[in-house]
Structure 1
Amino acid sequence: MEAPQYVAARVQQALAEDGRTHELGIRVDIRGEQLFLRGQVSGVEQRERLGQVAREAAPELHVHNEIKVVDVTEPGEDEHLD
């Protein structure tokens, strides 16, 4: 059985390099047979894709997708569309 830190590194690499996700800011925590994904993304589809890639990268673990979806389209003070 691989050491947890190696599995976490493998999953993080998959999330960063997979064409479906290209996500760098996701934290991967492993506790025994459980893998936790934590972080923030801008859409539900991206969140689901990250869970899928993690499951493919570590099929032996139970993936808990705790990634939060944040709305990045909130109008900000600096945004002026003319």
Structure 2
Amino acid sequence: MTQPQYLVARLRTTLAEDPRTAEQGVRVTVRGDHVVVSGDVATEERRAEISEVIKDVAPELVIHNDIRVVGADEPTRREELR
């Protein structure tokens, strides 16, 4: 089996380069046969795609997707700077 640090690097690179995800801000941790991904994304679809990309690269791992979906909507009111 691949060393955890090499697997983490491969997963991070794949998440950044795969056109389905193109995510650089996602944290990846591998512990045994489990991978935990965390961070923030704009849509539920992107969150699901991250799990799919990881399954493609490392189907033997159990995925714990702790990614939060945070809206990137336009502001509803003017922001006042002080």
Which TM-score tier does this pair reach, normalised by the shorter chain? 0.7 to 0.9
The equivalent residue for 2:69 is 69
- The alignment's C-alpha RMSD in Å is 1.3
Q: Structure 2 length as normaliser, TM-score?
A: 0.88
CA distance in 1, matches of 2:60, 2:4: 12
In the other structure, the counterpart of 2:43 is 43
- Percentage identity across aligned positions? 44
CA distance in 1, matches of 2:53, 2:78: 36
How many pairs were matched up?
Answer: 78
Structure 1 length-normalised TM: 0.88
Deviations 1:47-69 (A, max 9, x none): 00011001111111111111000
Structure 1 consecutive aligned stretches of length 4 or more whose deviation exceeds 6 Å: none
- Residue 65 of structure 1 aligns to which amino acid in structure 2? N
